[in-house]
Amino acid sequence: MENGNHDIPENANEHCPGPQSEEAGKADACAGCPNQQICATAPTGPDPDMVTIAERMAAIKHKILVLSGKGGVGKSTFSAQLSFALAEMDCQVGLLDIDICGPSIPKMLGLEGQDIHQSNLGWSPVYVESNLGVMSIGFMLPHPDEAVIWRGPRKNGLIKQFLKDVDWGELDYLVVDAPPGTSDEHISIVQFLQVTGIDGAIIVTTPQQVSLIDVRKEISFCKKVGIRVLGVVENMSGMRQSITDFRFVKSNETGDETDVTEWALSYIRSSAPELLSVIACSEVFDSSGGGAAKMCTEMGVPFLGNVPLDPHLCRAAEEGRSCFADQKCTVSAPALRQIIQKLISSGQ
């Protein structure tokens, strides 16, 4: 695959600042690089690609990053459903997946196996609907199981190419799904987009402390690089599920299980039919520390709301569907819609 950033040599060290940087050949990351002497003596100046990026991004009204401190918190699921929701509001939406090593957006939008097409205007996004376009390295891999084993400079080069060469057209929203953490991809997207303005970042977490610890670092990252935190979403905030969606089992003294779902539901229908409309709730993660809401108060950032752990939402994401068009997502879709409305009403 083509690097996309011809300025950074393939053999450059990880965390290469780039030959155009004032730190080229002088930064700590340059130590031992075979190009160090060349970079240190080469003339430096503004990156000409930034002009092209600024022109592309000028046609996009709002740019929103979706971040997380940890992996596995449902960040890509939220990015996908946010994009579906905005598109259903008749907005022109682009979804950019910059998780280079673990691109999951193509699957979550039902676009697996699609290819990128090129025109004289640049790369064309892959479209779910006429007003929802997607770009991801997942469309470039020869096989979905292919591993992307790239150093930082090559990742940064592809992110730059996504911004410089993709013909997004005029958009109301560009949603950027970033990998977990605060590494090269995050620094690059901020550096490339900041000159054209970023509305801010939505940070996704789960209730337990092990996730919130990393989210605090993500918030600190945003503050250090000057990115506004639009709010924090607490995902998987307890299990909420209709009684009729449960599977019931009975264990014997040896630990063997027998499925008694039909018997249990039949018993409920005959003896307590009012329970059929009850939603069962369960705390999946320990939220005794106050969860994301308390953390937001302590760190002075908005709390956007909770999204319960809903098996129907998980299934919609696996099948590349919008949960808002799925009548079974009765607990997650309203929660997501409320969060998105709060986001829209705040001016984003």
**What residues form the annotated binding site for [4Fe-4S] cluster?**
16, 30, 33, 39
Name which of 84, 46, 52 is nearest 325 in CA terms.
84
Which residues contribute to the annotated binding site for ATP?
Answer: 69-76
CA contacts within 13 A on the Cβ side of 99: 22
Q: In terms of Cα–Cα distance, which of 241, 236, 242, 246 is closest to 308?
A: 236
Backbone torsions φ then ψ of 257, nearest 5 degrees:
-115, 145
Where in 126-255 does DSSP place strands (E)? 126-129, 132-135, 171-177, 200-205, 229-242, 249-251
- CA pair distance 125, 139, nearest whole angstrom: 10
Residues annotated in a binding site = 16, 30, 33, 39, 69-76
Closest listed residue to residue 126, CA positions, set 94, 103, 87 = 94
Nearest Cα to 199, choosing from 208, 190, 186, 209?
190
CB 59 within 8 A of CB 52: no
Coil, helix or strand at residue 121? coil
Cα(292)–Cα(298) distance, rounded to whole angstroms?
A: 10
Structure tokens given for 320? 């590349």
Structural tokens at position 44: 């430096």
Radius of gyration of the chain (CA): 23
